[in-house]
Structure 1
Amino acid sequence: MECDVDRIEPLVVRANRSASRLIHNEATTEIPVHLLFRDDPPPEGRRDAVPGPVPAVAGPAVVSSRRGTGEQPRFRRRVPAPASARPAARTADRGLRERPARVLPAAAGVLAGACGAAGCALTSWWAGALPPLAVRALGLPVVVDAGLGLPQWTAYAGAGALGLLGFGGLARGRTGRALVLGSHGRYRGTVRGAGLMWLNPLAPRRRIDVRLRHWRSEPMPAADADGIALRAAVLVVWRVRDTARAALGIDDHEAYLRECVEAALARVPVGAPGGGRGSAEETGERLTRLVAREVGPVGLEVFSVRPARVEYVPEVADAMHRRGIEALDARRRVGALTSVFDSVEDTVTRLTTRGLVDLDASAREVLVRDLAAAFCAGRRETAQ
């Protein structure tokens, strides 16, 4: 044993000395800088590669170190898979959408009401409250001095509640009208059918018109492409497509539609009065697209928004009227001068062509001036 100890001690000392030399030796292998920032996985066939497939979960992934370089293991964050690659979540659509309500035939309500009425009548016979003649007519024995006790009052309450639920739940659906039902603050469904049916009498109901509707607005502020203030009245063709969103998504869907139309008129330039049919059609298409996009999320469907009447505001109407009169007068003057010049040219051409007069340049100018003055005077007298 002493020999073994003496043999082992030099080995331990030698190992410690070599370890100290590796730490303090200046010739230790340097780590390349580019290896510290490489995130690509090691190539296949390397012994230090991580075996097996990489788990497809979000979170940090371990990148193995490279042996012999002194590089430490690094963590690389996994990018979650796109939504299209993940399985679709089997969760119900929590958005507010129209769905049919549960209704019963009217016969069920009538039967329940009749049963309640019959129960009240039998309870009255049990309590002895019916006249003897009516009891004998029904073929029942006459009950004497039964009185109204707790059992009779309980039977009255049950039969009366059944009758009220049966007859109180009867409702009549109409074509073009829908009933939006709710219960305890929640949406329970929409009834679009027509005819007599039974609904929960305790559920609040709201009737909504789902027919195709035309609405002509009052004059609203607008502007043309040059920024001149206008007033436009539009004709909107629309209907309620989703009754749940229209009734419960906003307070008043008609007021919301009016506000959307007014906002669209403030954003879309409207053709000036007398701008032509093409500009009105283009403005209507732009208004229709904009309003339909705005009211779609609240369950409304807009088919067309067309300017029905466009006029200038009173502050601008007088100035535009004077401008229009001046433009008409200028066009009339230009037309009159053109007509006079054409008449003078035609007269001078005929005179010289037929050889009636032989004119030099100065005489021709004098003739033209005299004819123009004569034609203008004649047109002025005709106009007066």
Structure 2
Amino acid sequence: MKTEKTINANSGYTMLIILALLLIGLVFGFISGIIFAWVLILPIVLILPGFFIVNPNGSKVLVLFGAYKGTVKDNGFFWANPFLSKQRISLRARNFDSERVKVNDKIGNPILINVILVWRVRDTYKAAFEVDQYEEFVRVQTDAAVRKLAGSYPYDNFDDEQADITLRSGMDEVNEALENEITERLAIAGIEVMEARIGYLAYAPEIASSMLKRQQAVAIVAARKKIVEGAVGMVEDALSQLTEDNIVDFDEDKKASMVSNLMVVLCGDKEATPVINTGTLHS
């Protein structure tokens, strides 16, 4: 497989001076009535197509009758063989924000995902000749890499509690895997991946509402668990202190009643409304 070959082209200013002299000679010849002045037209016509400009962070791929001759990366005004075709390839970094695609994650949930890619051409030969339209190649291969990545990880660990890395929580690991996958796919086109990361991630609309309710339920259960754990500790401390200080002598029924009342007060959603007992403790 061939690779890029950087070459130095001739300065365009030298040929521009020669072209100016030929034009002056042609005009002078016509004015003076010199019959053979018209022969100067041929070199003028041949010189003109040889001029080209390379802007900063740009390049020109030179091809002579199907044979690759090299790439000019120096910026400036140049002249080369007029029979050379000159393909412009930018070496600047480019952003690619892919469309949001609907795919299934590892456990089959439909999700919406897109990727933000920063890339540039590293090898102009591969970009020009190994693929057809390298910009379109970047788009298609990035889309394929995103689809493969999404199918390799679950969105979260609700349905796959054994998953150490998920699309939602393991962003660093997922972005690294995405960058490696895209780099491997674009290497054939001489493309350097500077950065790749997930730009948008969400459940598909048809299941988003259900998944939100599930997340809320999980959060509520976790919060209730913490409340119950705290309430049990508070009740235990209260009973222990009352018993140690001999403030109240509890039998099993009284202890059970107090525990029940305290748990209702501590774990209830609303503030408890006290009921005053005007009789005896046993009434």
TM-score, normalised relative to structure 2: 0.81
1:170 aligned residue: 51
CA contact under 8 A between 2:95 and 2:117: conserved in structure 1?
A: yes
How far is the alpha carbon of 1:122 from its aligned partner? 2.7
Matched positions, count: 262
Matched, 1:182 2:63: yes
Counterpart residue type for residue 145 of structure 2: A
Among all aligned residue pairs of Structure 1 and Structure 2, give the percentage whose two residues are the same amino acid.
Answer: 26
Task: Tell me by how many angstroms 1:117 deviates.
Answer: 0.6
Whether contact under 8 Å (1:221, 1:262) holds in the other structure is no
Match of 2:197 in 1: 306
Per-residue deviation, 1:323: 0.9
Is 1:272 paired with 2:160?
no
Q: Deviations over 1:190-244 (max 9, x none)?
A: 1111111113344332211112333332323444332322222222232211112
Q: How does 1:112-123 map to 2 (within 5 A)?
A: 112-123=18-29
Name the SS of the counterpart of 1:193 in structure 2.
Answer: coil
Q: Indicate how the Cα distance of structure 1 residues 296 and 118 shifts in structure 2: closer, same or farther if over 3 A, else same.
A: same
Aligned partner of residue 142 in structure 2, secondary structure: helix
Larger radius of gyration: 1
Cα deviation code 1:154-200 (max 9, x no counterpart):
532x3123234334432222120011222333433211111111133
1:357 aligns with: 248
1:55-81 Cα shifts (integer Å, max 9, x gaps): xxxxxxxxxxxxxxxxxxxxxxxxxxx
Does structure 2 retain, via aligned residues, the 8 Å contact 1:111–1:166?
Answer: no
Q: Deviations over 1:266-316 (max 9, x none)?
A: 223246269588722222222222222222122112244222332111122
Any idea what the Cα deviations from partners look like across 1:313-333, whole Å, max 9, x if unmatched?
Answer: 112212211111111122222
Aligned twin of 1:246: 127
Give the structure 2 partner of residue 111 of structure 1.
Answer: 17
For each residue in 1:94-135, what CA deviation from the matched residue of structure 2 results, as whole angstroms up to 9, or x when unmatched?
x443223562222331132123212212321332xxxxxxxx
- Determine the C-alpha separation between the residues in 1 that align with 2:82 and 2:112: 48
For residue 286 of structure 1, the aligned residue among 154, 172, 177 is: 177
Against the structure 1 CA distance between its residues 290 and 374, is the aligned structure 2 distance closer, same or farther, given a 3 Å change threshold?
Answer: closer
**Are the aligned partners of 1:225 and 1:271 in contact in 2 as well (CA < 8 Å)?**
yes
CA distance in 2, matches of 1:281, 1:224: 18
Residues in 2 aligned to 1:237 and 1:353: alpha-carbon distance in whole angstroms: 69
Matched, 1:338 2:226: no
Do 2:13 and 2:77's aligned partners in 1 also have CA atoms closer than 8 Å?
no
Q: Quote the Cα distance in structure 2 between the aligned partners of 1:243 and 1:202.
A: 20
Partner of 1:380: 270
Unaligned runs of 5+ in 2: 158-165, 273-283
Please give the secondary structure, in 1, of the residue aligned with 2:92: coil
CA distance in 2, matches of 1:371, 1:111: 100
Higher relative contact order, structure no. (Cα contacts within 8 Å, ≥ 6 residues apart): 2
Give me the whole-angstrom Cα distance separating, in 2, the residues matched to 1:213 and 1:273. Answer: 31
- Residue 95 (structure 2) aligns with: 214
Q: Does the C-alpha gap of structure 1 residues 316 and 328 become closer, same or farther in structure 2, counting only changes over 3 Å?
A: same
Q: Distance in 2 between matches of 1:200 and 1:118?
A: 23
Matched, 1:100 2:6: yes
Residue 276 of structure 2: aligned partner: none
1:224 aligns with 2:105: yes
Residue in 1 that maps onto 2:206: 315
What letter corresponds to residue 191 of structure 2 in structure 1?
Answer: L
- CA distance in 2 between partners of 1:124 and 1:276 (Å): 77
When residues 317 and 278 of structure 1 are mapped into structure 2, their CA distance, relative to the original with a 3 A threshold, is closer
One-letter amino acid matched to 1:293: E
SS of the equivalent of 2:249 reads coil
Structure 1 unaligned segments of length 5 or more: list them.
1-94, 128-150
C-alpha separation between the residues in 1 aligned to 2:210 and 2:2?
A: 52
1:52-131 alignment to 2 at 5 Å? 95-101=1-7, 103-127=9-33
Q: What TM-score results when the alignment is normalised by the length of structure 1?
A: 0.61
